[in-house]
Amino acid sequence: MRREVRLRLRLLSGGLFLVALLLVTRLYFVQIVHGRDFSLRADRQYISSSQELYDRGSIYFTRKDGTLLSAAALGTGFTVSINPSKIGNPETAYAALNAITPVDKAAFDASVAKTTDPYEVLAKRVPEEAGTAIDAAKISGVSVTRERWRTYPASTEAAQSIGFVAFDNDNTLAGRFGLERYYNDVLDRNAAGLFGNFFAELFANLDNVVVDARASRQGDLVTTIDPIVQEKLDQILAATNAQYSSQETGGIIMDPSTGEIIAMDSNPSFDLNDFTHGDPAHFGNPLVEHQYEFGSIMKPLTMTAGLDAGVITPTSVYNDTGCTTVNKSTFCNYDLKARGPNTPMQEILSQSLNVGAAFIATKLGHERFRTYFEKLGFGTETGIDLPSEVRGDIQNIKNSPRDIEYDTASFGQGIAESPVQMIKALGALANHGAVVTPHLVKAIRLENGVTKTLSWGKPEPVFTPAAVEDTTRMLVKVVDTKLANGTLKIPTMSVAAKTGTAQIAGPGGKYAEGLYFHSFFGYFPAYDPKYVILLYTRQPHGVQYASETLTHPFMDLTHFLINYYTVPPDRTAAGN
């Protein structure tokens, strides 16, 4: 009997302890985690119970030392409103208000005239100090209500990647572009969420700390974007676009081993804090939503495929005829000149020879060529965490038996890719032959302080490391000897790079005279890469080749990254 009593007492004590633990934990969340939210909501409800206080998770940039910097947050202030029927002396009320914060006189008079409407808004997003002063002034008929809104401290930086919040078709505030839209379910919060998520928050520590990107609970986004690098990239893109009056200039900087995007943008763009005055054509992200024929930066991939398949070696030669006719279509080297018999593989990259790239494609054959390109991710989505990604277009090498389609694809014409697809594929050269998933968010920070790292899958091998190293040696030689005649070589750092100049198709699918798409990619340190860079500019004026438009922007970024991240030298000053 006594044993049964003791058992019951223990069960009762355990139950009471569990209840107490839950109450203490709930108190912690109410007072510490959500204390400010409840305070603001109570303040708003006291004045206007019909409206909820806006709430949403934050988005953070990540600096190189791991500190977080706000990219999207909540601004806090007041809405100033009046009840026209309770305004005693309109002139006195206006004078008192206007002395604290500017109020449009005509709008004030119009609101006062609406005596049957008990609630007329005079001003929104009134700063904290001014709102508090108005409340303290006790102006008859005037009310102030707590308000929160979305604010973007970085303004224009990474605007197309961050996105913004606006009303949808249901008159609900929601993410409309960029990360705001892709992760809307993670960022979105409502009043019930403060209570409803209690048990999820309480037991969050029991979950795996690595979670799938689309299965995360509500919280803040921790991005891979470094704000300092992003600012530098934006400056270079804006300067390049202005210098050549291009239609568009864009760039991506990525860690090739993880897929973390350190900076990403295009110009022209817009101000996230003033998007209502921006051009809607710039709200989307062309780096994931548009596709282009990239031209000769495709040649290193063709070269590596040939080396990997064993159909060529670094010492192989071919007969460069300058122009070649295949399936009744003729294509040529950029200068129409033949390099003759015994042209080495190195010259295909050093002199950017279309005939040489087509030689490798022929050696590979249709099926093998297509298989390599499909493994690189061409023709599919990359899986990047941004909305509206296009798949790319490689139909010419999927559905056609004609040799000409494979020949032109070998030097980047006739197939189209988005910039993010292109850097994913080229990233294989900077990652020992394996492709990774490009992404912008690396973790979700829950409100209880737990940070959940997102999983982006494992690298997928496409090329052997040996084949990649052979191509890398060729690309390093391009930089050391051919790029600006070797004047931009960095004596203490190996850099692998390639330019690309592609014709742009006009009406009817024919290439237009004088319209070009320039691209440039590179990675460093070449044999143990930390960063891969992709730049492009569309329809630049007054220049024909990418070496003229993008060489210096690329090298400026390279020097900046070396200094900013203190990348150690990988060769001696003699270049060994």
CATH assignment of the domain containing 291: 3.40.710.10
Euclidean distance between the first and final Cα of the chain, in Å?
87
Confidence of residue 194 (pLDDT cuts 50, 70, 90): very low
Query: Is 198 contained in some domain?
Result: no
Confidence of residue 195 (pLDDT cuts 50, 70, 90): very low
**Between 202 and 263, the higher pLDDT residue:** 263
Q: What is the pLDDT of residues 500-515, one digit of tens each?
A: 999 998 777 778 888 9
Q: pLDDT value at position 53?
A: 75
Residue 48 predicted with pLDDT over 60: no
The contacts of residue 87 (CB under 8 Å, 6+ apart) are 93, 112, 140, 141, 142
Residues 258 and 390 in one domain: yes
Phi, psi of 48 (to 5 degrees): -145, 95
Q: pLDDT value at position 45?
A: 39
Q: pLDDT value at position 208?
A: 45
What average pLDDT does the structure give for the chain? 89
Query: Is 124 contained in some domain?
Result: yes
The average pLDDT across 105-122 equals 92
Q: pLDDT value at position 71?
A: 98
Range ranked top by mean pLDDT from 4-13, 114-123, 291-300: 291-300
8 Å CB contact between 350 and 338: no
Query: Is 259 contained in some domain?
Result: yes
Q: pLDDT value at position 201?
A: 44
Which of 80, 82, 54 lies closest to 144, judged by CA? 80
Query: Is 572 contained in some domain?
Result: no
Query: Is 380 contained in some domain?
Result: yes
Share of the chain above pLDDT 70, in %: 85
Residues 371 and 510 in one domain: yes
CATH number at residue 130: 3.90.1310.10
8 Å CB contact between 225 and 71: yes
Last residue of a domain, one of 151, 172, 197: 151
Which burial class, exposed, middle or buried, applies to 23 when counting CB atoms under 10 A from its CB (0-12, 13-18, 19+)? exposed
Last residue of a domain, one of 123, 151, 179: 151
Which of 265, 249, 51, 223 lies closest to 146, judged by CA? 51
Q: pLDDT value at position 204?
A: 44
Lowest mean pLDDT, pick from 4-8, 20-24, 401-405, 490-494: 20-24
CA angle 83, 87, 89 (to 5 degrees): 160
Residues 185, 188, 191, 192: what is their CA dihedral angle, to the nearest 10 degrees? Answer: 10
Residues 360 and 506 in one domain: yes
Phi, psi of 6 (to 5 degrees): -60, -40
The contacts of residue 389 (CB under 8 Å, 6+ apart) are 288, 289, 381, 382, 418, 420
> How far apart, in whole angstroms, are the C-alpha atoms of residue 304 and residue 428?
10
> How far apart, in whole angstroms, are the C-alpha atoms of residue 518 and residue 251?
12
Q: pLDDT value at position 218?
A: 81
> How far apart, in whole angstroms, are the C-alpha atoms of residue 458 and residue 534?
22
Q: pLDDT value at position 170?
A: 78
Which run of H or E residues covers position 323? strand 323-326
Place of tokens 């990254």: 561
SS3 call for 25: helix
Q: How many domains does the chain have?
A: 2
Query: Is 21 contained in some domain?
Result: no
Residues 404 and 275 in one domain: yes
Residues 314 and 423 in one domain: yes
Residue 518's beta-bridge partner residues? 501, 537
Q: What is the pLDDT of residues 376-426, one digit of tens each?
A: 999 999 999 999 999 999 999 998 899 999 999 999 999 999 999 999 999
The average pLDDT across 211-233 equals 83
Residues 516 and 392 in one domain: yes
Residues 270 and 138 in one domain: no
Query: Is 1 contained in some domain?
Result: no
> How far apart, in whole angstroms, are the C-alpha atoms of residue 377 and residue 500?
20
Is cis: bond before 525, omega within 30 of 0?
Answer: yes
Query: Is 159 contained in some domain?
Result: no
Lowest mean pLDDT, pick from 76-85, 422-431, 474-483: 76-85
Residue 70 predicted with pLDDT over 90: yes
Last residue of a domain, one of 120, 151, 182: 151
CA angle 561, 563, 568 (to 5 degrees): 95
Q: What is the pLDDT of residues 92-105, one digit of tens each?
A: 999 999 999 999 99
Which residue segment(s) compose the domain that 79 sits in? 71-151
Residues 415 and 515 in one domain: yes
8 Å CB contact between 359 and 345: no
Q: What is 119-185 written as a DSSP string? A: -EEEEEEE-HHHHHHHHHHT-TTEEEEEEEEEE-TTTTTTHHHH--EEE-TTS-EEE-SHHHHHTHH
Specify the amino acid at residue 491.
P
Share of the chain above pLDDT 90, in %: 80
> How far apart, in whole angstroms, are the C-alpha atoms of residue 453 and residue 311?
42
Q: What is the pLDDT of residues 415-465, one digit of tens each?
A: 999 999 999 999 999 999 999 999 999 999 997 788 999 999 999 999 999
> How far apart, in whole angstroms, are the C-alpha atoms of residue 161 and residue 136?
42
The contacts of residue 516 (CB under 8 Å, 6+ apart) are 501, 502, 503, 504, 539, 540, 544, 545
> How far apart, in whole angstroms, are the C-alpha atoms of residue 452 and residue 274?
32
**Residue 507: count of CB within 10 angstroms of its CB:** 6
CA angle 511, 304, 496 (to 5 degrees): 85
